[in-house]
Structure 1
């Protein structure tokens, strides 16, 4: 009834309402969330104001209305309104009968309509179409110098490229948006953009860059007394920064950030925020070895679990707490219960955490003497990890292909523009000649020659510029191909390890059995039969050795080799790898033969740790200083007594091989080990 009275009232007064008043009413009801009245106003206004009688006002009103449709997630309805608005804006610009201010208003409406179209397509997961409209919106806002909306467009472009797995392009767009927001001193939006950039760097496993960008938030000026929402934001930023510090193994710094975040918590703050902070605080404490304090903070987080609506954060809490109970306490049943809850959620919402929770449950079931369940869980974890890696590789490859396709389209556009410029120049030349002949051939002949010469020079300059731009585009394409080659090299290294596994199995299943038979034969038969059998074993070993191949590192750098090998090692379930590769290594250019020797040394060390050390963690540190590559490998395994073996580097075949390869690189290798405290291998090589 109230809505009917409102419509009647509005119908009576419609003749007295100006076009701008309709737009203001739409904004007023849209901002208040009274969308029913907003629709009624728009319906009535459309009967009075349209593109025929008041085109500029109708354009502004329709764009405003479509913006609120998008906010209601009515993307299809908004798209139709915005499509008509953009068509009308283009038509109005061509008429050129409006003042400069009106023309700017038309361009602004066109820009907003284009941006809202892109936003609706992105929300509908039509990413490639959304990307096209976002680029158009950026061009329009650049033309009218609307920096605020330009920043929003760059930010949306970053989100779209992230969803397209074009992560480098996403970071570039975010940085452009950040430059504008920082210049405008909009530090709230700047902080959000920085968080997005840091998250992308973290996803690219560039932890140091992620930490540097995240720290930038805390350099922004802050009021002495923060508003409630600002305090919540600050706490969230501190917690997110602490997570990045933990990933970079800066545990004490992470604890300092979390302690500050905890001190800012207030009683009336959301329970989900408290759960999130206490969970990460407990994890950081456990990473530093303080299990007792970690349990206390996990229990604080659990006290807010029922009040929290974020199921993902609750599942993470269940997983972390359950796994810690399994590792650090005797509460096996309690650990099993928490991990079961986490696993149930991750199975419904697959992510990398599904693999971790499956492996954790496999360990728990093994300890509960449920071997079959443990095996099934481990097998499921393996298959899940394979799917995740395949999807990740496929998504990144799709991103590279999309970027390469974009570059190819750019090259096509440049080629078409060059052809059009050439045709236009030829057409203008013919026009000049025809006109000149018609007016006066004799008097204008000299002018025609000069004009043609100028045109020729201009065309040459234009052609040179286009050729230069084409070369730049080709260079960019080669860089993309280089990135794809890196991925292919990664697959090659994995194939190499698969081959070594195959040969290992053959040696175990074939040669070792033959040797056992030879031993039995030695006891039971004469020496000639033993000689024949040993000859056969030698032939088998020789054939297997021919199957070994040497990795080819001619297409990758030392820095890439380390990262590829670390990625492969991270798939191991028996050993946790903690790497730190200095950025200075990226700038080194050393022969592929030297890279191969370093790879073989590292491969032998890792093999010894896995087979003999019984270690849980391995720490790899690679740095460069004073023209030397410094490699430090540490493990927390059982160690050995170096005092009883003064020539430890030559006493074992594997360690002897490490020494020989180090000498070949003109380097040195030192080993320090204590029983029960692990082993440290320190190597230096001239670069």
Structure 2
């Protein structure tokens, strides 16, 4: 036994250690992925997939692989991520038929998140039409599993994709749906990002007032975790973005106040790129407000962070604005040319709306340097770039409109098909109702005909039913009379039996016992002690029999006391050895004396039969009280008998068992006898109390 317990302990310890190890590796995977330490993340994932827990627990394996694929998407390795995510979806779909609803829901949620991550990877690879369709599929799946958190991100991603496709109206609608969900979830960090996306989109479409109005909403959200560095970085970003919108809408004073607040919130531990952005925009707004000296000071502050900033677009923007100011407000012509040329090199590789402005500024600089030919070429390049950008913008907008029109046409086609189906369904219902009405009318006519034909027959059946009812009532009356007669006969029989027992008891005690006592006294005078002893034993047996036959005075004893006294008396018997158990709960029963006497007689009759016929060595008496019913069970290991006849007709039994049955009926209880030859007898009788 000790070895088995030790083995179980070792197995449990090994299982717990394995689970603890798996949890630690999963935590390491998340830690490395969140911190961008992708080489360590790959190593930990390779360890996890070789674990037994990963191979045995399919749900755990799917979750781990999904987390790893999401980190691969963050890393930019969308090809590997897409391969894993496709496998996850294929593996999760068959398992959705798992019988447990909780497991099926988790698998559906995993498949939906995998679909969202596939769309994210397609967007990263600029596969915009495929990304749009996959994002719509992810939205449908996430709505089915009611995953509001990921659904908001899916709407936001779909908005970004539609924006890139220049489907701007759809993009705004999707952003607004994402914003409504995030506000309900009180995820104000994501809500602020979505508000920023909407404001930028309004700004791109020339709706500057709407852009500023929606941007102000970012500052109305409740502030939580305000002491964390992430919150502070997000706050500075939001202030800078809002200031840019104000500056673009010719509100330099409000933009300067907003940027001043953003600069006050800058901390040394914040990213240098954020500081470069804030100082650049503050310098730009300062110059627009007519403060060139202040602008020059902040441009120089921004330039001090250029070498440690990773955002090349922000650096190019700074170099252009700084060079533009040096050209217009200082005598540093060569320095201005160097900065603007760097910005132009970046803008040529990454065309944007800023490229024509940069080229025109550079043309002006070359013109002042008396390099007219180069200035002309730069102006021509600026014109061509502007035309190209305009053409590209209009083509993109046209493509967006065409895509939106295609979607609307598809929606109209679907609506038309639905309308056509509705018309067909209505026509079908009309035909169905018409045919149904005709059939109902025909059926009603048939029913009327049948009723008229069977009217007499129905009347005859009613009379017959009435006669049958009268016969049943007579039969019930007869049964009641028989039952009442049987009850009275039973009471008379039991009363007569008691009177007979009392009379026989008195005769035995007063007559036979006294005669035997006289004979015993005479025999004592003779020289025969054996006969004297035998006579004395006979007299004692007859005396005990007379006491048993006599009706006991039980008026002052409870049911529990009567059972206790009787069973204690039975314990003195040597053969059979009788063991008794009486529940203490029987003491609580308030039982009438006449019914207690019936219980006593039933038990006395059963024990008497056992002593006479069973030849038992062991016997057991059990008395219990449960749910308002007293149960008495007498069990012996005697020779038993065939109880089949008793189950068919109890009245064919002997006088003893018949007396038991009638007394049980008088108590409104019942009796059950189980016996087989050679296997003992069990008698169970019960009655309400």
Distance 2:199 2:208 in 1: 8
CA distance 1:229–1:106, change in 2 (3 Å): closer
CA distance 1:241–1:408, change in 2 (3 Å): same
Distance 2:309 2:209 in 1: 32
Alignment of 1:257-656 (within 5 A): 257-416=258-417
Matched, 1:41 2:51: no
Distance 1:446 1:109 in 2: 61
CA distance 1:358–1:65, change in 2 (3 Å): closer
CA distance 1:192–1:384, change in 2 (3 Å): same
Distance 2:197 2:114 in 1: 25
Match of 1:151 in 2: 152
Residues 25, 44 of structure 2: 8 Å contact kept: no
Distance 1:173 1:202 in 2: 17
CA distance 1:16–1:240, change in 2 (3 Å): closer
Structure 1 residue 225, shift from structure 2 partner: 5.2
Distance 2:347 2:284 in 1: 19
Deviation digits for residues 175-220 of structure 1 (CA, Å, limit 9, x no counterpart):
1111111222211111111111111111111111111111111112
Structure 1 residue 74, shift from structure 2 partner: 3.8
Partner SS state of residue 306, structure 2: coil
Residues 79, 117 of structure 1: 8 Å contact kept: yes
Provide the aligned length of Structure 1 versus Structure 2. 428
CA distance 1:349–1:81, change in 2 (3 Å): closer
Distance 1:244 1:446 in 2: 82
Structure 1 residue 430, shift from structure 2 partner: 11
Structure 1 residue 401, shift from structure 2 partner: 1.0
Match of 1:221 in 2: 222
Partner SS state of residue 307, structure 2: coil
Distance 1:112 1:445 in 2: 63
Deviation digits for residues 524-559 of structure 1 (CA, Å, limit 9, x no counterpart):
xxxxxxxxxxxxxxxxxxxxxxxxxxxxxxxxxxxx
Distance 1:425 1:275 in 2: 67
Residues 20, 57 of structure 1: 8 Å contact kept: no
Match of 1:170 in 2: 171
Alignment of 1:46-195 (within 5 A): 48-49=55-56, 60=63, 62-93=65-96, 95=97, 98-195=99-196
Match of 1:453 in 2: none
Partner SS state of residue 205, structure 1: coil
CA distance 1:350–1:431, change in 2 (3 Å): same
Partner SS state of residue 49, structure 2: helix
Deviation digits for residues 210-267 of structure 1 (CA, Å, limit 9, x no counterpart):
1111111111222595222222221221122111111111111111111111222223
Distance 1:274 1:332 in 2: 27
| TM-score where L is the length of structure 1 | 0.56
Distance 2:276 2:95 in 1: 55
Structure 1 residue 329, shift from structure 2 partner: 2.6
Structure 1 residue 304, shift from structure 2 partner: 2.5
Residues 319, 342 of structure 1: 8 Å contact kept: yes
Residues 114, 133 of structure 1: 8 Å contact kept: yes
| TM-score where L is the length of structure 2 | 0.55
Residues 115, 134 of structure 2: 8 Å contact kept: yes
CA distance 1:165–1:293, change in 2 (3 Å): same
Residues 26, 42 of structure 1: 8 Å contact kept: no
Moved more, 265-274 or 230-239: 265-274
Match of 1:249 in 2: 250
Structure 1 residue 311, shift from structure 2 partner: 2.2
Structure 1 residue 420, shift from structure 2 partner: 6.8
Structure 1 residue 324, shift from structure 2 partner: 1.5
Match of 1:639 in 2: none
Distance 1:262 1:19 in 2: 49
Residues 70, 78 of structure 1: 8 Å contact kept: yes
CA distance 1:184–1:243, change in 2 (3 Å): same
Residues 48, 54 of structure 2: 8 Å contact kept: no
Structure 1 residue 399, shift from structure 2 partner: 0.9
CA distance 1:306–1:401, change in 2 (3 Å): same
Deviation digits for residues 293-314 of structure 1 (CA, Å, limit 9, x no counterpart):
2222222222222333322222
Match of 1:469 in 2: none
Residues 42, 65 of structure 1: 8 Å contact kept: no
Distance 2:335 2:55 in 1: 70
Distance 1:253 1:32 in 2: 42
Residues 23, 64 of structure 1: 8 Å contact kept: no
Distance 2:444 2:126 in 1: 61
Distance 1:92 1:436 in 2: 49
CA distance 1:188–1:445, change in 2 (3 Å): farther
CA distance 1:408–1:236, change in 2 (3 Å): same
Match of 2:624 in 1: none
Structure 1 residue 153, shift from structure 2 partner: 0.9
Distance 1:43 1:430 in 2: 66
Distance 2:445 2:408 in 1: 45
CA distance 1:434–1:140, change in 2 (3 Å): farther
Residues 256, 285 of structure 2: 8 Å contact kept: yes
Stretches of structure 1 lacking an aligned partner (at least 5 in a row): 1-12, 448-687
Deviation digits for residues 335-377 of structure 1 (CA, Å, limit 9, x no counterpart):
2232222222222222222111111111122222222221111
CA distance 1:355–1:117, change in 2 (3 Å): same
Distance 2:275 2:427 in 1: 71
Distance 2:427 2:324 in 1: 75
Match of 1:607 in 2: none
Residues 225, 231 of structure 2: 8 Å contact kept: no
CA distance 1:56–1:294, change in 2 (3 Å): closer
Distance 1:48 1:432 in 2: 60
CA distance 1:302–1:179, change in 2 (3 Å): same
Structure 1 residue 421, shift from structure 2 partner: 7.2
Distance 1:214 1:377 in 2: 37
CA distance 1:308–1:240, change in 2 (3 Å): same
CA distance 1:416–1:39, change in 2 (3 Å): farther
CA distance 1:225–1:41, change in 2 (3 Å): closer
CA distance 1:107–1:446, change in 2 (3 Å): farther
CA RMSD of aligned residues (A): 3.9
